Amino acid sequence: MKAKGYLLAGAAVVLAVAFLLVCSEGKSEETVIDFKIKGMTCNHCVENVTKALQSVEGVDTAIVYFEEDSAVVRYKDQKPSEEALVKAVEKAGYGAEVMSEAGAPAEND
């Protein structure tokens, strides 16, 4: 039964990422900040980290990758504070380290 739950949660994450990618098509001047996330053990952790990142002012979208222990924060107008992003993740009970400088251009896949 747990396997079915993980499968459903994984499918939900894939659908959410696909939705975010479709919604972001055609939008201009989007920039990203990449993070290494520490302490995630399941998809529920992914949800917690995603909510924590999205709670920070200026974040348009946050995508968290469980398998890579990483996250990507996208923003357009107002640059979110890297310190505030790290603190939000830490407050949720995880670790975060900035892997790229804020303002790196978003890659259009």
Q: Which residue has the tokens 């990449």?
A: 34
Distance from the first to the final alpha carbon of the chain: 35
Grade residue 109 by pLDDT with cuts at 50, 70 and 90. Answer: very low
Percent of the chain scoring above 90 in pLDDT: 60
Checking if the pLDDT of 35 tops 60, the result is: yes
Q: Distance between CA 41 and CA 67 in Å, rounded?
A: 10
Q: How many structural domains are present in the chain?
A: 1
> Which stretches of 1-109 are DSSP H helices?
2-24, 43-54, 82-91
Mean pLDDT lowest for which of 55-59, 65-69, 105-109? 105-109
Grade residue 18 by pLDDT with cuts at 50, 70 and 90. Answer: low
- In angstroms, the Cα distances linking 79 to 31, 37, 43, 55, 60 are 9, 20, 27, 14, 10
pTM of the model: 0.69
Residue 40: CATH number of its domain? 3.30.70.100
Range of the domain at 38: 2-105
Closest CA to 61 of 46, 40, 76: 76
